[in-house]
Amino acid sequence: MKKIIILSLTAAVLLTSCVVSKKNYDELMADYTELKDNHLGLQEEYAAQNNELSDILNSLAEVSGKTNSLKLSVENQTAQMDQASDIEEQITFIKEKLDSLDALQEKAKKTNAYLQKTIKNLKEVVAAQEAEITNLKEEIAQKDETIQSQAADIKAKSEKINEQAADIEAKNEELNKLVAKQVQMIYNAGVVLEEIGDSAPEVSWKKNKQKVANMRLSIYNEALANYRQAQSQGHSEAEARISALEAKIAAL
């Protein structure tokens, strides 16, 4: 800037003295124009660099917010690998922008020490963020592996329970058939006893009649006990048999 001012003053003095040649004047004006253009170019370059840095800082702030949210999700066992991958992609984009800015800085005619230091610091921050996301991805992977293992274990146990339930159901069905068969046998035994009682011989002597009656009553009572047991276990025909046999017993 000082050089631009000095050249401007020199040009003004020479013009006012009217002793400068046209050639010298043109050379001075060319130098002045070049310096002015260079100055404007540097201003535009610094402005562009500042805008780029601003975008990078905004992106880093967004990454930081997403990372904190991901940490909470990891603690709550609700984190998804897609969340970490999204942050990782954003970090990669920031790294590319920093590398591009660093390359432009190295090619610049004038080195901006402040910009260099800022780029270095930002790269360190990004590296730390990247390492943190890598650790979080490992935690998520372990969580997913644990969930998959638990799911497989639950599936295996569920299949085992289903097998046991089917086995129990088959055994229950077999048991029910066996019980039904036993109930039918008890009922049938009652029928046989009742028929034996019915077929007791008729006798003429009073003493013998009493013996036969007592024997018949005893047989009927045995048959009645069988009917009642069959009825208690759900036999459908037992109730009618009980009523009929009780009538027979009452008539003895």
Cα 208 to Cα 212: distance, rounded to the nearest angstrom: 6
Cα 7 to Cα 28: distance, rounded to the nearest angstrom: 7
Cα 15 to Cα 37: distance, rounded to the nearest angstrom: 22
Tell me the percentage of the chain whose pLDDT exceeds 90: 26
Q: Is the pTM of this model over 0.85?
A: no
What was the pLDDT predicted at 5? 40
Tell me which of 108 and 2 has the higher pLDDT.
108
Cα 118 to Cα 105: distance, rounded to the nearest angstrom: 12
Mean pLDDT of 35-54: 66
What was the pLDDT predicted at 17? 44
Tell me which amino acid residue 54 is. Answer: S
Question: Do the beta carbons of residue 87 and residue 63 sit within 8 Å?
Answer: yes
Mean pLDDT of 85-90: 92
Confidence class for position 143, pLDDT limits 50, 70, 90: confident
Confidence class for position 224, pLDDT limits 50, 70, 90: very high
Cα 252 to Cα 215: distance, rounded to the nearest angstrom: 11
Mean pLDDT of 61-75: 90
**Residues 6 or more apart in contact with residue 217 via CB below 8 angstroms:** 249, 252
Please calculate the CA angle 116-121-122 and round it to the nearest 5 degrees: 100
Q: For the beta carbon of residue 169, count every other beta carbon within 10 angstroms.
A: 10
**Residues 6 or more apart in contact with residue 31 via CB below 8 angstroms:** 7
